Chains A and B, each alone.
Chain A
Amino acid sequence: MSVAFALIAGLTVASAVAAMTLRNLVHCALALTVTFAGLGAFYLQLDAQFVGFAQILVYIGAVAILIVFAILLTRGSEPPMQPVFSSTWAVGTVIAVVVFGVLAGMILSSKAVPHEIPPVRAATVRQIGDQLMTKYILPLEVVGLLLTAALIGAVIIAMQDKQTK
């Protein structure tokens, strides 16, 4: 475990915790953005340049902005009065830790998971593009169709709203 990994991991986990515990929703969204950036940094540290930059472009450039807009458009920016923690947080934590422990134990003892880390092969953007356009063309097109449908649906919802006025 290198120093860079420790730094990125610490930052990612700390900002994720902050995103859950902060009182002001906009602060939570900004903390979540730091988590996204930390994940992007992880991909870059693993030499996955394309995935890392795509993560930053999509999550920081689009998803974070979307979250922030949603917060501002749906409710007041004043922090809530009631506590952010549910009253049963202790029980919830215990259940979460137990579930995590069971899953981790099962995965570690499973024979299906290779325990030796395979040698890293740095994939260039060209290789990713070739694979996407040949072997994975169907999933790519399906995702494209899904996104187009979502886009048209959003436009239709917005248009109906305008006509009823």
Chain B
Amino acid sequence: MAETLDQLFVRLKEQLVSLLPATRQPLGSALISVAAIILVFAGLFAITTVLERKGLGRIQNRYGPNRVGPYGILQPLADMLKTIVKEDIVPHTADKVVHFLAPLVLVAPVFLALAVVPVGRNMVAMDIDAGVLFFFAVGAATELSVFMAGWSSRNKYSLLGAMRAIAQMISYEVPLILSAVSVIMMVGSLSTVRIVEAQAGYSAWLPDWHVFTPWGLAGFILFMISATAESNRSPFDLPEGESEIIAGYYLEYSGFKFALFFLGEYIGMFAVSGLAITLFLGGWHAPLPFLAWIPSYVWFFGKLLALIAGFIWVRGTLPRLRMDQLMNFAWKFMLPIALINVATAGVWHFMDPGFARWMVCSLLVVGPYVALGRALFAGRKLSWRMYSYAD
């Protein structure tokens, strides 16, 4: 029963593909996977927008959307209708072709990146040998789309936003990839399916997920911070900076093109969270052995929603960084810690399992963290900041 439920969608796809003539089957199989990815994640995008607005409303002591449908749950439908019906305004001086292409260049790669994320047992669109590399390669194309949008709008604020976004994405791509490298080293494969398989099984009462090791925990935290910066979300939302540069690189976009940017940003967030789950949180594996009867895809999407909730919580609580803080944090703190973490993973690999290995690797993680933090804060006067406007 559990087996049937787990493989429900895989069987369904096999049934559908077997209806086709033999020569058309590879194409049909690919098309079904593509349609499933687009439908599921676009649906998740719709749900996330309303959840995010509701959650932020709670954090900021207000209601959030509550007019369309019960508890405002149909708000995405209204938003979708609005963006489709709205006039698409292109600035007179804009570079028309590049302006048109920018949202497409953003949305296509982020959906492509989802193709290598295993969402359940046997549920991955492409099991390729260099899966993680593929993910980062297609992710690189989004930087270009940001530039295209900012430059083609012929607007100073757009260009400023694009420059900020690209500088930020390039800076945080380094710790993002380096924190993934430690996992790749330990598993010995770039394939996302192999990485998930390597995290099967349980030792004592903990599952064998990479996050439950010293280097894995440090890597996971580094990865999530970099992922927040890569997807331009608060507290790393300088490229949008409503109070300084209005909305950054998509300032001159309206109607459905604006919606495409919004979609691309959220799908990118889902994709990078999906990769974080694959690399560190055991993919679709259940956290405890007696929970393994729950279908694998439920675990994957449960973990995905938990990470998204974390993103929303962080967005609601942290103020925006300044540009110099952003760069200092990336190059002086994240990069050295990520490099040391790669070495820690090597130490973990060559030491015998046991208490000593845990102690040594924990020291290797905590020691540099404390030392580097102290060194960077040396000579700076830090005190409580008093705000007087709310008295």
Contact = CB atoms under 8 A, between A and B. Distances in A.
Interface of A: 26-27, 30, 33, 40, 49-50, 53-54, 56-57, 60-62, 64-65, 68-69, 72, 77, 124-126
Q: Would you call the interface of chain A mostly helix, strand, loop, or mixed?
A: helix
Contact of A65 (B98, B130, B137, B147): B147
A88 B138 CA distance: 41
B133 interface: yes
A61 B137 contact: yes
B189 A126 contact: yes
B140 interface: yes
Contacts of B151: 26, 68, 72, 77
B130 A68 contact: no
A49 B144 contact: no
Counting from the closest, the 5 A-B pairs by CB-CB distance are: A61-B140, A56-B137, A53-B137, A57-B137, A53-B133
B133 A61 contact: no
B148 A65 contact: no
Interface in B171-190: 173, 188-190
Nearest to A128: B130
Given A68-B147, A126-B188, 10 more contacts: A33-B144, A49-B128, A50-B129, A57-B140, A60-B137, A60-B144, A61-B143, A61-B173, A125-B129, A125-B130
A57 B141 CA distance: 8
A56 B140 contact: yes
A76 to B, nearest CB: 13
B166 A65 contact: yes
A57 B190 contact: no
Which of A57, A68, A72 counts the most B-chain CB atoms under 10 A from its CB? A57
Nearest to A77: B151
Interface in B119-165: 128-130, 133-134, 136-141, 143-144, 147-148, 151, 159
29 contacts: A27-B98, A30-B144, A30-B148, A40-B137, A49-B130, A49-B134, A50-B129, A50-B130, A50-B133, A53-B133, A56-B138, A56-B140, A57-B133, A57-B136, A57-B137, A60-B140, A60-B141, A61-B139, A61-B173, A64-B144, A65-B143, A65-B144, A65-B147, A68-B144, A68-B147, A69-B166, A72-B159, A77-B151, A124-B129
